[in-house]
Each structure stands twice: as structure tokens, then as C-alpha cells.
Structure 1
Amino acid sequence: MSPTLDHIIILLPYASLVNPPSWLTENFTITPGGKHGDGKTENKLICFRDGTYIELIAFINDDPKKRLGHWWDKEFGIVDFSFAHSDGDATVHFSELEERLKSLDWGDGSIEVAYEEPQTGARMRPDEQEIKWQVTFPVVTTGYQRGELPFFTHDITPRSLRVPFSEESVTHPSSALGVKSLSNFIQASKSSALAKGYSAILDMPNLATEEDSQKLGIFEVQGAKEIEGGHKAKIYLKAPNEPQLEQMERRGGSMLGDLILGVSAVSGASKYPKRIDVSGGGIGGVLLDLC
């Protein structure tokens, strides 16, 4: 069974996590999170009806020492995303993933995609409930970066503890139901490897065609919960234009682009799509659009 889309990570300044800005509070119901076991980061969640969520994360007190060497030592914005499996165990899924990746033909000189063995993580909720999981991260020493490739989250404690879905938590002022799409901009030198690598990672076909000139990959994924209308999300691998290349170079050669959240049909549909985060133009924004 193909994995489901689990969550997308947005890195914020610590002050914006403690007191979220109006673009977040006016559009979303924010659910308490907690501090991670390494004592470096803290989070809050935005949960959606499709079973996905946004993880708002920050380095505690914006301490540079906590950032040093951390995989999310990046510019503020969308920095990473995760998939999950609804059954089985992390070790089994890792073995199956490793087998799919090793079966690919990397003979064109592409850098092979690989993943590390699962490792355990944890955080403490404000109610002192400890939550545990295992994560399977991509190998970054091969030339890839976190965010270029997704990671996997495997729950040890029940997912309902890590992601406390309720009618209240998934009801938002913006009427957002879940993730509609996430764009990932890919360097030309890595496009061939990542296009076929993602098919193996997600165990699903690449839906991009020759007519999709800028889209190197299109992968249609399900959230953890099915909602009315058969809502699914699309992960896009895209070729950047010149301005986007400049931004990618500034960010170390990789960049997650716009996160588009689907909203239910409401009056005033002509105003969609609309960008809601405060940064305005450019790439890597949060937008609302009709499902």
C-alpha cells in the first residue's frame, strides 16, 4: 500500500510560534504541540479533515546553538514534509523502500537516492503526555538535502496522541479541508534521478506527461483520512525558472515551493486562489484554493 501524506513543516521564528501572527490565527485553528525530546525545537499543529497537518516549528528562543548542525537549520518557511504508513512497522517499510530504490537503474550517472534506517523520536505534550515515533530520513551525504526528498513518520504511540484530531481542531475560519498541492523545485542535474526516485519512494506512478513542460513529476497522494469528494493532494516536482534558480542557490540548491490548501466551495469563489502568508510574492507561500 502506498504511503499517505502525513505533514508539512513550516519553520517560524520562536516569537511567531509562541504568539502566532494574524495570517495564521485568522485562517486556522491552531492546536497545541510540545517540545521535542532533543530540547532544541518546539511545535504547534494545524490539523485538517483529510488527515494531514501543518507542523509549525521553531528553535527554542531562536538559540543559534540549537540550530547548529540541525537538519532544519534553514531559512524560515516551508522546509520539509513527511509521509506515513497506516499499518505495519517502520523496519518492514524501510526494507521494502530500500528494495524498491536498489532495483532502479541508476546507470545514467544520477546520484542514487537512499534512506537511513528508522530512528526513534519523541516530544512531550503540554499535558505531559509523552509521544513516541520512528522516523526514516533520506541520506543527505549523497548530495541530496532534507526537503528535496521526504521523510517517513511511523507512530509508536497512537497517531491520535501525536495528531489530536477533533471536530474543533479541523474546523478553520478559512474553511481549509487539507492539502491540495505542494511544489518541490528540482535542479536539472537531479531531475532524472528524483523523478524516478519519487516513484519508488511513494510506490506509485509518475503522472507527468510530455505536455507538462515544467512539471517533472506529479504524484497524487491520499491523506490519512478520506473526505467527501475524494479529495487528494498532488506533489509536484518542478523545473525552476531563472528567478527561482537564484532563490534555490541562496537556499543551498533546493527549495520547496507553494503549499496550496484546498477549501470547500464557498461564496466569493472568484477570490481564489489567494496567498495568505505575510511574505507576499515569491515562492514558498501558503495559499488557499477551491478543492
Structure 2
Amino acid sequence: MLLDHVVLFVDDLEDAVDTFSQHGFTVTPGGVNGPTHNALIAFSNETYIELIALQSRKKRLLLRLLGQLGLLKVLRPKNRNLNTRLLSWFSGSQGFTDICLRVVSLEAFASTPPETLGALTPVTAFKRHRPDGIHVSWRLAGAVDLMQPFFIEDDTPLNYRIPDGPSRHHANGSQGITELITRSELSVRPENAIIRTSVASSRSKFSIGITTTGLAKEIPLGSKYNADIRLIN
């Protein structure tokens, strides 16, 4: 099982792209998926940061308000599915939102999930239309407990979903995510077992450890995205 990507839900995608670009990251337009659009910061070790936002700013503001008032709880289905998780993204605070892990066979994993993970939502198919016209498809299943990660299996080639080539080269030298540390000081590493991947809060401030070539600095984004990017030698 591999760390696939971390999700940063943002209020304004264009603003987020500008911010990360100014910090030396190459940000690639991802495309449109239902009510959302995204952009990707892809790395050479096939991990990435997903910047994702609702296309409609009005819907985002409305859902944030409903979330803050606690009114969205009545809209949540009794049988938790991936829409429950996505609704928490849409209505939550800007910044670090979720963690995704990659599995070889989602059906096999979902049929016998580790005891520590608990129940999983049904496997659901998704697709995204890239700006260059390529259609990307994948399947997801998430832990019913929103404090746990969600999981992905690709239907199309991996480099359809995670751009390769120049998109993985960054002016700040970043090469790949090596760990993710939340306030609970819990690290998520690509080689870790599922028991090591739960997070204390889906809204925790986090640091992403990113391997680089000869750089050692931290990019503080806490004021905007509740995140710090640590570039590690």
C-alpha cells in the first residue's frame, strides 16, 4: 500500500495555484470532476498534492455556512458513503482535508479491511476530464470513520491521473512526499501499514516532508491552508 496523495480543499483554485507556484512548485491543471475542479502538484515518486475546489464560489460559501451552523448533519445519509466524505470536504475549513492511499485491488482490500480501519464505504467509480481532452477514471472506497483515509485504484494508466514528465520537475527541487505529520505527530510513510495511517483530525495542521536535491527549507502556508511544506535534504 502506497501513499498516493494528500488533499487540500481550497476556497479559490486559481489563488491556490498562484500561491504554490510562487513557492517554486510546478502546478498542473487537473480538470473537472462533477462540481469540482482541481490542480495537481505531482512528484517523481508518484505522490502528489491535490488542490481542489468547488467551481461555484456561491455553493462553497453556502455549504461552509451550513457546516458551521451544524445543519448539514440532517442531510447526511444514514448509510455512510463517499458523498458523506465529499460533503465534509465541501463544507469544511480551507486547507488539509484528507489522505489517499493506493491499493492494487480495491475490491480485495474492501472485502477484508484491517480491523483497525473499521467499515468501508462501497466502491464507487469516478472520472475526470483533463484540459487536454484525456479522460481519467478510477475507483474509490473510504473508511466510514472520516478520521481514517480513503483508498484508490486506477482504471486508466497511472500517468493519466498523475501527470509525468516536466510536470514532476519543480524549481524548488522537490522530488516526492516522504511523510505526512499531523498535530498528533503521527507519520504516514509509503511503506507503512494501514494501522499507521489514521489521523487525529481531518482538519489538523500538517507538515509534508518532501525529498529534494540540496534544499533544506520550510514553506509556511499555515495562515492560508493550515499546512507547512518541509523540503528535506
Q: 1: distance between equivalents of 2:18 and 2:50?
A: 15
RMSD of Structure 2 on Structure 1 (CA): 2.9
- What secondary structure sits across from 1:21 in the alignment? helix
Moved over 6 A (4+): none
- How far apart are residue 34 of structure 1 and its match? 0.4
- How far apart are residue 160 of structure 1 and its match? 1.4
1:31-42 equivalences in 2 (<5 Å) = 31-36=28-33, 38=34, 40-42=35-37
Structure richer in helix, relative to its length: 2
Structure 2 partner of 1:132: 137
- How far apart are residue 180 of structure 1 and its match? 3.0
Structure 1's unaligned 5+ residue stretches are 105-111, 187-214, 224-233, 239-252
Structure 1 partner of 2:154: 155
- How far apart are residue 177 of structure 1 and its match? 1.3
Does structure 2 retain, via aligned residues, the 8 Å contact 1:182–1:235?
A: no
Structure 2 partner of 1:244: none
> 1:58/1:65 Cα in 2 relative to 1: closer, same or farther (>3 Å)?
closer
- How far apart are residue 260 of structure 1 and its match? 2.2
- What secondary structure sits across from 1:169 in the alignment? helix
Could you tell me the TM-score, scaled by structure 2's length?
Answer: 0.76
User: Which of the pair has more CA radius of gyration?
Assistant: 1
Question: C-alpha deviations, 1:116-169, integer Å up to 9, x for none?
Answer: 121111111112222111101111xxxx43xx2110011111111111211x11
Structure 1 partner of 2:209: 261
- How far apart are residue 115 of structure 1 and its match? 1.0
- What secondary structure sits across from 1:255 in the alignment? coil
Question: C-alpha deviations, 1:71-106, integer Å up to 9, x for none?
Answer: 312111010110012x3x321121131xx32xx6xx
- How far apart are residue 21 of structure 1 and its match? 2.5
Does structure 1 retain, via aligned residues, the 8 Å contact 2:137–2:154?
A: yes
Structure 2's unaligned 5+ residue stretches are 64-71, 73-86
Structure 2 partner of 1:26: 23
> 1:133/1:179 Cα in 2 relative to 1: closer, same or farther (>3 Å)?
same
The percent identity for this pair of structures is 23
Structure 2 partner of 1:196: none
Q: 2: distance between equivalents of 1:18 and 1:255?
A: 20
| Correspondent of 1:91 among 107, 114, 117 | 107
Structure 2 partner of 1:49: 44
- How far apart are residue 18 of structure 1 and its match? 6.4
